[in-house]
Amino acid sequence: MKLIDSFGRQINYLRLSVTDRCNLRCKYCMSADGVAACQHNDILPYESLHLIAETAISMGIEKIRITGGEPLVRNGIVPFLARLSGIEGLRHLALSTNGILLPEMAQDLSLAGVQRLNISMDSLQEEKYRKITRGGELKKVFEGLKAAAKAGFPPPKINVVAMRGFNDDEILDFTEMTKNYGFSVRFIEYMPTLDQANWQKQEISGQEILDLISSKYELEEVEKGPYAGPSRDFRIPGATGSIGIITAVSGHFCATCNRIRITSTGKAKSCLFSNQETDLNPWLQSGDKAGIRQQLEELIEKKPECHALSINGYEHDNFLMSQVGG
Ligand code: SAM
Ligand code: SF4
């Protein structure tokens, strides 16, 4: 079965946020004190997350990415993933993490059926990493990368939020990582989700990143696979990994958007930057699979053609990326 929206896009990818808590406090994602404690009663129990996943898969979703917050800080995540990976029809289970807990957990995640990891790392320099994450230790992320390789994962994708004046001087260092170690690095345009004044000053467009890399390396474009994310991917000829550019703000990938999102509190969203969302809680509480299905069908039917955000214009309510899951 195929899920097609009203603009002819096939929706086959669900991003499921399992928590809004995190062991880091990245400056572009969370405030220094993290998330408000009162929200935690609202976080969906695993039974509800499973029910959503099962329903979505029965409708045509083939890939699920587990995200957060930091998914690995939630108690019971490994058995939940093991159950999820057993749902018939799920072809691809991936997880986004900051990598800090991978040294202890990579092996169990692999055994639970997670097939791919994306790891966020915005600097290759210890002090800068500590600063952007408000205290994170870069060493642990590198240990996490090693543990993932030892557990048999394919080289993870490294997500880098590009920020002018912070890590623009490291774009070529990250690019180097794609040459020999098989890592794919994806540069994400910084998105103004918190109430940040003058956010445009930090923005580096995907095109600028591409121009910078192309000034040093010849690049060839890489073809996209069936569950590909929103990046445009390139490769330095002969390199083992690729370079992705995610133009979340300057746009251009809405036409091929294949995803829906579920927040950690049970809101379904058809577009990261749309204010339109459906609260699934009334149907989750009664275990009403048909009701959830109907809500998701209606959401996909109304999925907007494109988001209204651009570097020159900004139209959406602020939201916590840690709750929506990126
Ligand atoms: N904790 C995990 C991690 O950091 O990968 C998963 C959740 S995190 C919210 C998912 C992705 O969203 C990360 O790659 C993160 O860098 C990205 N992200 C968060 N806030 C962002 C922002 N304001 N602009 C661009 N990307 C952002
Ligand atoms: Fe945590 Fe990921 Fe947000 Fe950083 S980006 S604060 S690691 S949820």
Domains of the chain by start residue, with CATH: 13-324 (3.20.20.70)
With 0-12 CB in 10 A as exposed, 13-18 as middle and 19+ as buried, what is 31? Answer: middle
Instruction: Please tell me the distance between residue 27's alpha carbon and the centre of ligand 2 in angstroms.
Output: 9
The encoded tokens of residue 193 equal 């989700």
The number of C-alpha atoms within 13 Å of 1 and in the hemisphere containing its C-beta is 10
Give the ligand at the shortest distance from the Cα of 121.
Answer: 1
For residue 183, give Cα distances in angstroms to 1, 17, 176, 178: 33, 24, 10, 5
- The yes-or-no verdict on residue 316 having pLDDT over 60 is no
Distance CA 61, CA 44 (A): 20
Tell me what the mean pLDDT of segment 191-204 comes to.
Answer: 73
- Ligand 2 and 22: CB distance under 6 A: yes
Contact criterion met (CB below 8 Å) for 323 and 69: yes
What's the pLDDT tens digit per position in 21-56? 999 999 989 888 876 655 677 899 999 999 999 999
Tell me what the mean pLDDT of segment 256-267 comes to.
Answer: 93
Distance CA 58, CA 77 (A): 22
- Ligand 1 and 29: CB distance under 6 A: yes
The encoded tokens of residue 129 equal 């990493």
Helix runs in the chain, H state only: 46-59, 77-85, 102-111, 126-133, 138-150, 171-180, 206-216, 281-285, 289-301, 321-324
What's the pLDDT tens digit per position in 268-277? 999 887 778 9
pLDDT at 311: 43
For residue 103, give Cα distances in angstroms to 74, 84, 85, 121, 159: 16, 22, 21, 15, 18
- The yes-or-no verdict on residue 193 having pLDDT over 80 is no
pTM: 0.93
Residue 199 has φ and ψ, to the nearest 5°, of: -60, -25
Instruction: Please tell me the distance between residue 6's alpha carbon and the centre of ligand 2 in angstroms.
Output: 33
Ligand 1 atom 5, closest CA: 97
The number of C-alpha atoms within 13 Å of 220 and in the hemisphere containing its C-beta is 8
